[in-house]
Amino acid sequence: MNYTLDRATIKENAKAQLGKDLFGNIWFSAVLAVLIYNLIMGVLSIIPTVGSLAALVVTGPLAVGISMIFMKLARNHNKVEVGDLFFSFSDRFGKDFGLGFMVSLFTTLWALLFIVPGIVKAYSYSMAYYISLDHPDWTWNQCIKESMRITKGHKGELFVLDLSFIGWYIVGALCLGFGTFWVMAYHMTAQANYYEALKAAAGPAYNQQPMYGQPMYGAPQQPYDPSQYNQPMQ
């Protein structure tokens, strides 16, 4: 598949990957994964103290898991496996916890300055979970640095992509609220497609192959230099 940053094409690709039948196997599995993800995070958020701490611990692993589900769907049209939501808890929990913690920490610190910088940085770090999946040997710092690199000049586009789903969320809310889970599945599939297009547009800064599926870009433009990602975060 040829990936493009064109918003309309990204959304059309997402719909095609999910299928025409809103109650078909792909849609159902995707919606179920989104439902479980939001249910876990929602329940933890309403439990005082202990729930907040638990949410902090599982945010990274669950975010990586949900990213994996939709990245595989966008990349290879793989069958949605709800169990992938928890794959991080087996052998890479510490790594993904660290990534989720640092993404949350940096986003919060920027948001303390003003709301807008926090939003901008949230988009800067938004591709870190996908990058972590493609490069499981990378540290959290490398993943965040690479996310910042490939989103440079594209954060506004990603923001507009997210805004384009507001109408659908309103429609979903009118369907007794349950429709929003279908919209979330559609939205997350579109975001995964955007990642594929974004990394191709930005060009690779590394000389490694993705773990899941074939690379969506050609030969590296420059050799992989780990040192460029090991500098302190700004």
What does the pLDDT look like over 177-218, one tens digit per residue?
899 999 999 999 999 999 999 988 887 665 344 554 443 333
What does the pLDDT look like over 62-120, one tens digit per residue?
999 999 999 999 987 778 899 999 999 988 999 999 999 999 999 999 999 888 989 99
Hunting for tokens 């954060």 — which residue is that?
155
What is the pLDDT of the chain when averaged over all its residues? 86
Domain segments of the chain as ranges: 7-229
Residue 78: per-residue pLDDT: 72
Mean pLDDT of 19-45: 95
Percent of the chain clearing pLDDT 70 (strictly above):
85
Rg (CA), the chain: 17
Q: What is the pTM of this model?
A: 0.85
Q: Residue 145: pLDDT above 90?
A: yes
